[in-house]
Structure 1
Amino acid sequence: MKSIKILQKSVFILAIAAAFTACKSSTDSEEKEAKSQTEDSSEMGLKDYYEDYFPMGVAVAPNSVKGKSAELIKKEYNSITPENVMKMGPIHPEKDKFYWEDADLLAEFAKENNLKMRGHALVWHQQTGGWIFKNENGGKVSKEELLKRMKNHIDSVVPRYSDIIYAWDVVNEAVADDSTKVYRESEWLEIAGKDFLVKAFEYAREADPNVKLFYNDYNAIIPEKRDRIIELLKYLQQNNAPIDGVGIQAHWSIHSPSEEELREALDLYSELGLEIQITELDVSLYPWEKERRELKEGESDEFTPELEQKQIEAYDMFFRVFRDYKDVITGVTFWNISDRYSWLDTYPVAGRKNYPLLFDENFERKKAYEKVVEFETQPETKTP
Structure 2
Amino acid sequence: MRVFLGARVMTLSRRDLLAAGAASALAGPAFAAQGPSLRELAQAKGILFGSAVPAGPRGATTGPFEDAKHREILARECGVLVPENELKWYVVRARGPQYFDFERADRIAEFAKANNQALRGHTLIWHHPQWFPGWVKGYDFGPKPAEAAAKMVTEHIQALCQRYPQMVSWDVINETVDPADGSIRSTFLSDAMGKEAVLDLSFHVAREAAPKARLVYNDYMSQEVGNEKHRYGVLKLLEGFKKRGTPVDALGIQSHIGAENADSFTGFGKPQEKEWTAFLNDVTGMGYDLLITEFDVHDKGLPYDFGPRDAAVAAYAKAFLDQMLSYRQTKEVLAWGMIDKYSWLQGQWLREDKKPKRPTLYDDNYQPKPLREAMAAALRAAPAR
TM > 0.5 fold call: yes
- The residue matched to 1:241 in structure 2 has which SS? coil
Q: 1:60 to 1:379 in 2, by over 3 A?
A: closer
Match of 1:72 in 2: 73
Contact between 1:323 and 1:381, CA under 8 Å: does it hold in 2? no
Answer yes or no: is 1:270 the counterpart of 2:274.
Answer: no
User: What does residue range 88-107 of structure 1 map to in structure 2 within 5 Å?
Assistant: 88-93=89-94, 94-107=96-109
> Which of 246, 253, 264 is matched with 2:251 structurally?
246
Answer yes or no: is 1:61 the counterpart of 2:54.
Answer: yes
Match of 2:37 in 1: 45
Q: Give the TM-score, by structure 2 length.
A: 0.78
Q: 1:272 to 1:82 in 2, by over 3 A?
A: same
Deviates more, 1:373-382 or 1:209-218: 373-382
Q: 1:57 to 1:303 in 2, by over 3 A?
A: farther
Contact between 1:135 and 1:141, CA under 8 Å: does it hold in 2? no
Q: 1:107 to 1:77 in 2, by over 3 A?
A: same
Answer yes or no: is 1:309 the counterpart of 2:314.
Answer: no
TM-superposition CA deviations, 1:304-359 (whole Å, max 9, x none): 5433222121122122213311x100101011121112111112349663211111
Deviation of 1:368 (Å): 2.4
> Which of 345, 362, 366 is matched with 2:365 structurally?
362
Match of 2:331 in 1: 330
Query: What is the distance in 1 between the residues matched to 2:71 and 2:214?
Result: 26
**Once the two structures are aligned, what percentage of the paired residues are identical?**
28
User: 1:210 corresponds to which letter in structure 2?
Assistant: K
Query: What is the distance in 2 between the residues matched to 1:58 and 1:101?
Result: 20
Answer yes or no: is 1:225 the counterpart of 2:230.
Answer: yes
User: What does residue range 146-185 of structure 1 map to in structure 2 within 5 Å?
Assistant: 146-162=149-165, 164-179=166-181, 181-185=182-186
Deviation of 1:380 (Å): 5.7
Contact between 1:122 and 1:170, CA under 8 Å: does it hold in 2? yes
Q: Whose Rg is larger? A: 1
Deviation of 1:135 (Å): 4.0
Deviation of 1:48 (Å): 1.9
The count of corresponding residues between Structure 1 and Structure 2 is: 329
Match of 1:131 in 2: 135
How large is the Cα RMSD of the aligned pairs? Answer: 2.8
Q: 1:268 to 1:140 in 2, by over 3 A?
A: farther
Contact between 1:346 and 1:352, CA under 8 Å: does it hold in 2? no
> Which of 296, 300, 322 is matched with 1:282 structurally?
296
Match of 2:208 in 1: 206
Query: What is the distance in 2 between the residues matched to 1:369 and 1:224?
Result: 32
User: 2:184 corresponds to which letter in structure 1?
Assistant: Y
Contact between 2:299 and 2:313, CA under 8 Å: does it hold in 1? yes
Query: What is the distance in 1 between the residues matched to 2:170 and 2:115?
Result: 20
Q: Give the TM-score, by structure 1 length.
A: 0.78
Query: What is the distance in 1 between the residues matched to 2:188 and 2:384?
Result: 43
Query: What is the distance in 1 between the residues matched to 2:111 and 2:31?
Result: 27
- The residue matched to 1:50 in structure 2 has which SS? helix
Deviation of 1:87 (Å): 0.6
Match of 1:353 in 2: 356
Deviation of 1:40 (Å): 11
Query: What is the distance in 2 between the residues matched to 1:246 and 1:328?
Result: 10
Structure 1 segments unaligned to the other structure (5+ residues): 1-37, 288-299
Deviation of 1:257 (Å): 3.2
Query: What is the distance in 1 between the residues matched to 2:233 and 2:146?
Result: 25
Match of 1:25 in 2: none
Contact between 2:180 and 2:229, CA under 8 Å: does it hold in 1? no
Query: What is the distance in 2 between the residues matched to 1:133 and 1:211?
Result: 32
Structure 2 segments unaligned to the other structure (5+ residues): 1-29, 56-62, 259-267
Which of structures 1 and 2 has the larger relative contact order (alpha carbons within 8 angstroms, sep 6+)?
2
Deviation of 1:261 (Å): 4.3
Contact between 2:42 and 2:379, CA under 8 Å: does it hold in 1? no
- The residue matched to 1:106 in structure 2 has which SS? helix
Contact between 1:132 and 1:149, CA under 8 Å: does it hold in 2? no
Query: What is the distance in 1 between the residues matched to 2:73 and 2:31?
Result: 17
User: 2:71 corresponds to which letter in structure 1?
Assistant: A
Contact between 2:200 and 2:241, CA under 8 Å: does it hold in 1? yes
- The residue matched to 1:340 in structure 2 has which SS? helix
Q: 1:336 to 1:309 in 2, by over 3 A?
A: same
Q: 1:282 to 1:261 in 2, by over 3 A?
A: farther
Match of 1:81 in 2: 82
Contact between 2:179 and 2:229, CA under 8 Å: does it hold in 1? no
